Amino acid sequence: MAEIKNPDIENIAEFKQDLINKRLQSGSLIPLLQSAQDSYGYIPEKIIHYISELVGIPAAEIYGVITFYSQFRLKPLGKNLIRICEGTACHVNGAKSILTVLQDELGISVGETTDDGVFTLQSVACLGCCSLAPVIMVNNDTHGNLNHDKIKRIIKKYKSDQKVRVA
Amino acid sequence: MKTIKVGLGTCGISAGGQLVYNKLVEEIKTKNLEVELKETGCMGMCYEEVLVEVEEDNGTFLYSKVTPERASKIVTEHIINNAPVKEWIVKSDEVNKEEDFLKNQNRIVLRNCGIIDPTSIDEYIAQNGYKAIQTVLKNSTPIDIVDQIIKSGLRGRGGGGFSTGMKWKFAHMEKADKKYIICNADEGDPGAFMDRSVLEGDPHSVLEGMMIAGYAIGSDEAYIYCRAEYPLAIKRLKNAIAQCEERGYLGKNIFGSGFSFKIKIKEGAGAFVCGEETALMASIEGKRGVPRLRPPFPANKGLWGKPTNINNVETFANVPWIINNGWDKYAALGTEKSKGTKVFALAGKINHSGLAEVPMGMTINEIVYGIGGGIKNGKKFKAVQMGGPSGGCIPASMGDLKIDYDEITRTGAIMGSGGMIVLDETTCMVDLARYFLNFTQNESCGKCTFCRIGTKRMLEILERITEGNGKESDIDLLIDLAQKIKNGSLCGLGQTAPNPVLTTLQYFREEYEAHIRDKKCPAHNCAALIEYCIDPDLCTGCGVCARECSSNAITGKKKEAYYLDTALCSKCGKCFEVCKFDAVIKN
Ligand SMILES: Cc1cc2nc3c(=O)[nH]c(=O)nc-3n(C[C@H](O)[C@H](O)[C@H](O)COP(=O)(O)O)c2cc1C
Ligand code: FES
């Protein structure tokens, strides 16, 4: 996961530099938003206004684009992003009960972040690993053939990794 | 020298492939072995992952379900002592445990997947890669190529099934200073993963197909629109494009022919409707991905108003093969109106979940029972879902149906992109219809009223039926709404959204009626209509269910039968899943 920065003025400068490095010109609104999200973990309001100036598209329209695509977030993410697949193969193989366990373990529902900021839970239409259904993706790692035990073990592992990092 | 290949598609990696690979690296290093270690793409047998293949003088040996520990043993026994570990081998010259899965397949699109290292352009070239584009540039005029593709009978694999050659012809005939090629790698249909496997396992075949298309229609610039949920596919594509640029296979004056071509990648941002071609182009242009009316078709007015040819990943991957082997060889496969092969993504309640490429015209039963190895856990085959949210359910009683575009359409489902979800007796068809309507309702872009609001109303009706509050008139209302949504929507999303409901109503109407009239879910799936209880004769008193239960609904003493209080039960189903003795029962 990208390290999350504070969107203050300084970082906007950094973001600008990033855009220059990536040679993103105007007209490519979605890649601009994607790199904003890469740098900040979400799309801060300040950045929307900055991009608006850059590409000459009204902020309201950019907001429309952001909310249209499920990839974009207007709120910061937890340190670990858990995406649970709600695709057809996962659905018929018990994704719902996996979701119940996940929600119980984390104490949050889909779309929320835990109070300590360690986990965000999201749902996704299909991860393309349907042969291993039910599937979740934690950050960029896919975990398949899940059952209740396995889910608990995975969550435990990320929780303890987190503690180690803090210590 | 021996070669070891590890299947590192997304499926292989999630099954632990990277750990196996790392272990092999370590073993080879510490034991100082003369072995070549390679990665390869998905071999299609996802149910046997992690797959490791050892190539040596005595042949090739395919190991299944390899773990890091097993990998160590394979190294000591097979690599060092030359004694293959027979019990884990699924395929070699002597053993063929995968015969059922492999024997009726015919791999054209998947010709290199799981065989070559997808990160190596040289391995692609060694399999006749980039030969087709060279032949084309040297010997053929663009219209010749269009003609060959028309004669091959290739139809678009993205769902619509339109003749690829005809589409190229329309774009070819347009006069313009600029034309575009787009590869649709959005693969939005949940439950389908053919395109992902091709992109991860053989990216160069897609690039080569795009180059040939570019030459045929007179385009010098292309985009691949790939969904962001496929990070590995994007990585492999970027790598493949960079290799081509380095060698001059992409760029200016390719192979000294005067033909120039460049390919860029655009990452999708998570919207199903962006798989629709006009929405996809809007998305590349940086706008909300909202479809527009056709005509004008992309071939006349596409990306940034220029003539554009858009094809699916699998469509492009077929093209180099057709050029190399001749259109007639391709047209010889399949049925009268559907030529060639089709890749199916088998998933759901099936034993051999994975990718199968078969000639068109194979029956559903041949795929489900033959290649797919039948239904998981000995359950009964109920239906296959084809075509995703735009498709429908074909009942097991029609298992002898030959799969091609027209036969499938006749059932009310569609071929779609090739996702085939197998359902068993525990799948509730009303719930499945609800599931798909929930999907389309979420993904509707909101432009057309009937698609936006009509699907919402249909979803509400389906929700109340699954919750036991359905009304006698609901079925007629669903059918009425379905017709109106079909007629009142501009793009394929709305026009096909009611299909899952219509097909389940057509073939499984009695299930709807049981929910509405008897307040029963025959598949024991809908939580509101079932009750859990514990069979005292089967319960061993292990207490696992009581520990799992977060509603404190299960009580009892160790080694005695436990009791489930239905008044407290939240019907989460955890106890049902954890009981090893089948003592938790759904009524
Ligand atoms: C709602 C909707 C979603 C679609 N999603 C995809 C998709 O994910 N991948 C794809 O190749 N085609 C998809 N299509 C079909 C495309 O619009 C288009 O027909 C196709 O990319 C053309 O390529 P082909 O002729 O090679 O099939 C979709 C169509 C609709 C209406
Ligand atoms: S349905 Fe879950 S990974 Fe495809």
CATH number of the domain that residue B362 is part of: 3.10.20.600
> Residue B87 maps to which CATH number?
3.40.30.10
Q: Using one digit for the tens of pLDDT, what is the confidence trace for B505-541?
A: 999 999 999 999 999 999 999 999 999 999 999 999 9
Instruction: Note the pLDDT of residue A4.
Output: 47
- What pLDDT sits at residue B229? 84
pLDDT tens, position by position, B176-215: 999 999 999 999 899 899 999 999 999 999 999 999 999 9
When CB atoms are compared, the residue of B266, B271, B572 closest to A68 is B271
Q: Which tokens belong to B38?
A: 């390679």
Beta-carbon separation of B573 and A132 below 8 A: no
The share of chain B scoring above pLDDT 70, in percent, equals 100
B326 to chain A, closest Cα gap in Å: 32
Q: What is the CATH number of the domain that holds B435?
A: 1.20.1440.230
CA B170 from chain centre, in angstroms, equals 29
B385, B308: one domain = no
Q: Residues B297, B352: one domain?
A: no
Statement to judge: residues B326 and B345 lie in one domain: no
With a 6 Å cutoff on the Cβ, whether A84 touches ligand 2 is: no
Q: Would you state the structure tokens that stand for residue B89, as one six-digit string?
A: 């081998």
> Are B28 and B73 within one domain?
yes
Lowest mean pLDDT among A5-19, A33-47, B255-269, B414-428: A5-19
Whole-number pLDDT of residue A11: 67
Verify that B293 and B146 share a domain, yes or no: yes
Q: Are residues B435 and B419 in the same domain?
A: no
pLDDT on residue A19? 73
Which of A:63-92 have CB within 8 Å of B? 64-65, 68-72, 86-89, 91-92
Query: Structure tokens of B558?
Result: 């160790």
Task: Please indicate, yes or no, if residue B107 is contained in any of the structural domains.
Answer: no
Q: Count of domains in chain B?
A: 5
A23 in B contact zone (CB under 8 Å)? no
**What does B380-438 look like in DSSP terms, one character per residue?**
PEEEEEESGGGSEEEEGGGTT-B-SHHHHHHHT---TTSEEEEEETT--HHHHHHHHHH
Peptide bond into B295 cis (omega under 30): yes
> Residue B487 belongs to what domain range?
429-518
Determine, yes or no, domain membership for B253.
Answer: yes
Place of tokens 């033909």: B259
Q: What is the pLDDT of residues B378-414, one digit of tens each?
A: 999 999 999 999 999 999 999 999 999 999 999 999 9
Structural contact between residues B320 and B194, judged by C-beta atoms closer than 8 angstroms: no
Q: What residues of chain B lie within 8 A of the CB of A51, using their CB? A: none
Residue B385 and residue B325 in one domain: no
| Pairwise CB contact (< 8 Å): B10 & A94 | no
Best-predicted range by mean pLDDT among A37-41, B154-158, B583-587?
Answer: B154-158
ipTM value? 0.88
- Residue B526 in domain: no
Is B525 contained in some domain? no
User: Is residue A26 pLDDT above 50, yes or no?
Assistant: no
Structure tokens at B420: 């085939």
Backbone dihedral angles phi then psi of residue B395, each to the nearest 5 degrees = -70, 155
Q: B497, B518, B539: which is the final residue of a domain?
A: B518
In a domain, B449, yes or no: yes
The predicted-structure confidence for B94-110, as pLDDT tens digits, reads as follows: 888 888 888 889 999 99
| Nearest beta carbon to residue A131 from set B47, B288, B289 | B47
pLDDT of residue B103: 86
In a domain, B111, yes or no: no
Do B307 and B382 lie in one domain? The reply is: no
pLDDT category at A3 given cuts 50, 70, 90 is very low
**Would the pLDDT of B174 be above 50?**
yes
Query: Is the domain of B196 the same as that of B47?
Result: no
* Residue B181, in any domain of the structure: yes
Give A90 Cα–ligand 2 centroid separation in angstroms.
5
Instruction: Give the DSSP letter string of A51-94.
Output: HHHHHT--HHHHHHHHHHSTT--SSPPPSEEEEEE-SHHHHHTT
Cα-to-centroid distance, B394 and ligand 2 (Å): 20
Same domain? For B404 and B477 the reply is no
The DSSP output letter for B376 is G
Q: Tell me which chain B residues have a C-beta less than 8 angstroms from the C-beta of A147.
A: 577
pLDDT of residue B487: 96
The confidence score (pLDDT) of residue A1 equals: 42
**Domain shared by B273 and B154, yes or no:** yes
Instruction: Confirm whether B464 is domain-assigned.
Output: yes
Whether residue A102 lies within 8 A of chain B, CB to CB, comes out as no
Residue where a domain stops, chosen among B463, B488, B518: B518
d(CA B31, CA B171): 58
Question: Given this model, what pLDDT does residue A25 score?
Answer: 55
pLDDT 10s digits, B411-434:
999 999 999 999 999 999 999 999
Of B389, B424, B459, the residue that ends a domain is B424
Mean pLDDT over B236-254 rounds to 98
Residue B217 sits in the same domain as residue B269: yes
pTM above 0.80, yes or no: yes
CA of B509 to the centre of ligand 2 (A): 27
